[in-house]
């Protein structure tokens, strides 16, 4: 029996500031393969070489991963600022269109970190480039040493840092079997205003939006702000999410 296939979006990256590449973090690929039970298929976050129609004829679902680049502010009618770079405008174009088409066609869609943000923007929402600058918000960026360098220990970087309250009876509470969870936190940008069809189902202690679903989607269409791909092999929360995604893939799998 053929395994479901998941398209995993790539990110623009330059090696030695010379060689243009597309990059996908291996943890995303392993989460798809080892927990969702699917075959991960990397595709370019570039409209010049990724035909969305052809892609969706091949895959059974889409994973929109986290990334260093922010969604370009012009996508939600805001002026860009150099201090909030880098941007990846080509990924923006692919991911926002994919979000809309997947939801319309019932193709399972799972957004992580930037992926959640892309889903929100795709349905008319806006983002704040530095969520910690809003009154009453905590610093959601990854832990750093006193000298400003990123902490070298990934168990510290990806440790659970705050609680998320889930909507009772909602999609996430149903999948996870609880109304409160603890998650990691590694983002600067975050949701400011939810899009028209974006239903907020998870909120951090400081009010930051952490989990969304797309209303009236024909299939699985969920996004999380934390990095669920880090440890779903061991973390019961993240494992349940990738398993639910995997179940949706099986239901949508092409013969």
Catalytic residue from among 118, 201, 210, 229:
229
Q: What length is written for the chain?
A: 255
Of 72, 84, 128, 227, the active-site residue reads 227
State the residue for tokens 């201090």. 83
The strand ranges marked E within the chain are 5-9, 11-15, 19-23, 39-43, 61-64, 109-112, 126-128, 162-166, 180-183, 190-193, 198-204, 209-214, 221-224
Q: Structure tokens of 163? A: 């609680």
User: How far from 95 is each of 38, 112, 159, 247, CA to CA, in Å?
Assistant: 20, 12, 28, 22
**227 assigned to active site:** yes
Is 81 an active-site residue? no
Catalytic residue among 72, 84, 93, 113: 113
User: 95 phi and psi, to 5 degrees?
Assistant: -70, -40
Catalytic (active-site) positions: 113, 227, 229
């Amino acid at each position: 029996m053929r395994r479901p296939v998941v398209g995993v979006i790539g990110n623009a990256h330059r090696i030695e500031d010379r060689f243009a590449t597309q990059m996908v973090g291996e943890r995303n690929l392993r989460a798809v393969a080892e927990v969702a039970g699917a075959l991960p298929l990397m595709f370019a976050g570039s409209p010049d070489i990724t035909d969305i129609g052809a892609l969706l004829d091949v895959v059974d679902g889409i994973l929109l991963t986290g990334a260093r680049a922010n969604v370009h502010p012009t996508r939600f009618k805001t002026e860009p600022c150099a201090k909030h770079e880098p941007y990846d405008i080509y990924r923006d174009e692919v991911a926002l269109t994919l979000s809309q088409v997947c939801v319309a066609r019932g193709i399972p869609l799972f957004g992580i970190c930037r992926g959640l943000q892309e889903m929100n923007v795709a349905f008319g929402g806006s983002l704040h480039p530095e969520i910690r600058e809003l009154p009453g918000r905590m610093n959601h960026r990854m832990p750093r040493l006193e000298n400003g360098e990123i902490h070298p220990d990934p168990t510290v970087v990806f440790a659970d840092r705050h609680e998320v309250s889930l909507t009772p009876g909602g999609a996430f509470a149903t999948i996870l079997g609880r109304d409160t969870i603890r998650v990691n936190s590694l983002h600067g940008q975050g949701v400011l205003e939810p899009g028209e069809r974006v239903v907020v189902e998870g909120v951090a202690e400081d009010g930051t939006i952490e989990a969304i679903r797309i209303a009236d989607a024909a299939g699985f269409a969920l996004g999380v702000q934390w990095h669920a791909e880090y440890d779903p092999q061991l973390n019961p929360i993240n494992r349940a999410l990738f398993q639910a995604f995997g179940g949706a893939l099986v239901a949508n799998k092409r013969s």
